[in-house]
Amino acid sequence: MLSRRSFVGQAAGLGLALAGGRSLFAAVQGSAADATMTIYMSPTCGCCAKWVDHVKAAGFKTVVHEETGMDTVKESLGVPHDMRSCHTAQVDKYLIEGHVPAEDIRKLLAEKPKAAGLAAPGMPASSPGMAVPGEPHEPYDVLLFQRDGTSEVFAHR
């Protein structure tokens, strides 16, 4: 039988352990929860709106700017031509071009590589916002790119 003092001590220890677990979980999730993503998209783009829903569901705070001149936006932000897709986002110091999965954005923010950003060029059919339920998965690459347009595979999906 536990004494009252032992019970209170164990309960307090359990409470601290649980609070520490929540803090660790919050720290892991913090890169998405703390980062506000600014998204530029055409007001008529349905797949862009689906991608916005995807990143919101993953915990990102978003500010959406509907733009009719996306080429001008991409040019002013410095998105290399070969990386371009339908929408562009900025989060932390990085550009996100196209239908990049939120999981890859979180990884980018956690690892903080020297790069301009991530891109899923060409609107891959199986990417978030483009995928059609019931359709077979079509593999695609998410690229880590530099401002000069050079890139390397960041993730294969």
pLDDT tens for each residue of 102-154: 999 999 999 999 999 999 998 999 999 999 999 999 999 999 999 999 999 99
> pTM score, two decimals?
0.80
Contact indicator for 94, 106 with CB cutoff of 8 Å: no
> At residue 87, does pLDDT exceed 80?
yes
Q: What is the predicted pLDDT for the residue at 96?
A: 99
Q: Name the band, by pLDDT with cuts 50, 70 and 90, for residue 34.
A: confident
Q: Where are the domains of the chain?
A: 1-34, 36-156
CATH class name, domain 36-156: alpha beta
Q: Which of 27, 29, 85, 21 has its CA nearest to residue 60?
A: 29
Which pLDDT band, with edges at 50, 70 and 90, does 1 fall under? low
